[in-house]
Structure 1
Amino acid sequence: MTLGFWPAVLMGLAGAGHCLGMCGSLAGAFSLTVAPNRRLVTLLMYNLGRLASYGLAGALVGGLGAYVSAIGTPLLLAFRLLAALLLVLMALYLLRWHLGLMRLEALGQHLWRRLKPLAGDLLPLKNPWQALPLGLLWGWLPCGLVYSALSWALVSGSALDGGLSMLAFGLGTLPVMLATGLAATKLKQLLQHPGFKGLAAFILLAMAVNLLFVTWRQWMPA
């Protein structure tokens, strides 16, 4: 059960505000340490690394979900319910009705404490190519929105679909990350507009309901 390309992109776009808080300041800061004619290349390298980490994480959890499905364990039901729950929590976060999704960020702190010093060693950037490994490391920064997207990769059905869904999610975050580094304020304002976030939240809730319905049809006795 793959999330689909455009819904995954929408998830990334809808989380633009949170991305600004988590990664935007870094992108804006280090892009200023390189010459203006290299700024775009630096941002692209950083985000290429970040998306690569998302794709790898999606492939890993997608493969895990496929294995669980193949051996026929009821754990797959729990995975699907988790994915639906996190999607609802993400929609509530976008509407600012409930911010519990952000509490999930504590789950990745242990790994991040090991990676953060490595990322720090790459700063300040001496050339745009150093932004690629920086992005690879920064892609593992604990993030509730990323974990929500990963839950869908978990039930995607394969490592390939899981990786692709996370790459699509990463592409959705790309416009705001580039806009931050290049000071494109109008795009940032559009992606953070309450109307856009409300529409995205509605679509995400509809996707959660659809996942629950499909799961109910498959697991409930006739």
Structure 2
Amino acid sequence: MESLIAGTIIGLMGSLHCAVMCGPIALALPVRRSGFWLGHISHQVGKLSTYVLLGALVGTLGAGLSLAGWQQPLSILVGAMLLLGLISKWPTLMKWGPYRRMYTKMQLAFTKKLKDGKPHHFFMTGLINGLLPCGLVYAALLGALGSGTTMNGIVFMAGFGLGTGPVLLIIARSGSYIINALKGRVRYAIPVVVGIMSIFFILRGLGLSIPYVSPGDEMLKTEMVNGEAPSCH
């Protein structure tokens, strides 16, 4: 439950950024044929599915590190990486050739699937949308990595997707007015969200016995419980 709440809060806090970056995509969806709600919800479910899959992958990696006794150092490392990304202004994966080529192919597939307006194509474009480069998603994935278990990683990213969804539905319903009003005013959205996340993970890893924020060292020790590492929340 804690991972779900944490992911949802991160998604809600970063939703203004999502409004500017992904709002145009929401406005571009040709939903007249399928209906507004069916088209947009199908798209959101597709994107959420991608987030959940990515959460499972990074959560599994984090679980392996936790089982090896690296739960506290991992939490501190995640916080440090978030701070490093914040200071370096999130160097984009687009500078990496293979990813740039994959991204171009995703864009072409995205555009092609949007043309006919079929409901299942909205789901497919949502899957693709979840893979598009985004600093906020990178930050959320680091959060899922530090969550301690595969399930926590899944739940964290599910919460993140649910947190970012409402503002996109509002934009799709209200038109471009919100996007135009927010442009130039949300540049601090990611730094604030990422800064809070980094502080949280560093504090949690330090084991300062602060309830819900920084559990004591004994609570953070990794033990085998039903075959998997317990959450350190």
CA-CA distance at 1:155 after TM superposition: 2.0
Among residues 46, 49, 54, which one is paired with 2:43 in the alignment?
A: 46
SS of alignment partner, residue 100 of structure 1: coil
CA-CA distance at 1:205 after TM superposition: 5.5
CA offsets, 1:10-42, max 9 Å, x none? 111121232123321011111xx3328811221
Change over 3 Å in CA distance of 1:39–1:112 after alignment to 2: same
CA-CA distance at 1:159 after TM superposition: 1.5
Q: Distance in 2 between matches of 1:43 and 1:85?
A: 36
Q: How does 1:95-134 map to 2 (within 5 A)?
A: 100-101=89-90, 103-106=91-94, 109=100, 111-134=102-125
| Percent identity of paired positions between Structure 1 and Structure 2 | 29
CA-CA distance at 1:124 after TM superposition: 1.6
Q: Distance in 2 between matches of 1:162 and 1:123?
A: 30
Is residue 34 from structure 1 mapped to residue 45 from structure 2 by the alignment?
Answer: no
Change over 3 Å in CA distance of 1:105–1:198 after alignment to 2: closer
Conserved 8 A contact 2:147-2:153? yes
TM-score (norm 2): 0.71
Q: Distance in 1 between matches of 2:77 and 2:27?
A: 34
Is residue 85 from structure 1 mapped to residue 108 from structure 2 by the alignment?
Answer: no
Conserved 8 A contact 1:82-1:151? no
Q: Distance in 2 between matches of 1:56 and 1:152?
A: 14
Q: Distance in 2 between matches of 1:147 and 1:200?
A: 12
Which residue number corresponds to residue 172 of structure 1? Answer: 163
Which residue number corresponds to residue 61 of structure 1? Answer: 58
CA-CA distance at 1:172 after TM superposition: 0.7
Change over 3 Å in CA distance of 1:121–1:182 after alignment to 2: same
| Structure 1, gaps ≥5 residues long | 93-97
SS of alignment partner, residue 40 of structure 2: helix
CA-CA distance at 1:48 after TM superposition: 0.5
Q: Distance in 2 between matches of 1:134 and 1:3?
A: 30
Is residue 22 from structure 1 mapped to residue 21 from structure 2 by the alignment?
Answer: yes
Among residues 125, 136, 144, which one is paired with 1:145 in the alignment?
A: 136
Conserved 8 A contact 1:87-1:208? no
SS of alignment partner, residue 126 of structure 1: coil
Conserved 8 A contact 1:88-1:204? no
CA-CA distance at 1:160 after TM superposition: 1.4
| Structure 2, gaps ≥5 residues long | 209-213, 218-233
Which residue number corresponds to residue 224 of structure 2? Answer: none
Change over 3 Å in CA distance of 1:158–1:109 after alignment to 2: farther
CA offsets, 1:109-139, max 9 Å, x none? 4542343322222022422332001101111
Q: Distance in 2 between matches of 1:81 and 1:111?
A: 32
SS of alignment partner, residue 207 of structure 2: helix
Which residue number corresponds to residue 222 of structure 2? Answer: none
Conserved 8 A contact 1:20-1:176? yes
Moved over 3 A (4+): 76-79, 86-90, 104-111, 196-206, 215-218
Larger helix proportion of the pair = 1
CA-CA distance at 1:198 after TM superposition: 9.8
Which residue number corresponds to residue 136 of structure 1? Answer: 127
Q: CA RMSD in A?
A: 3.7
Conserved 8 A contact 2:80-2:198? no
Q: Distance in 2 between matches of 1:45 and 1:86?
A: 33
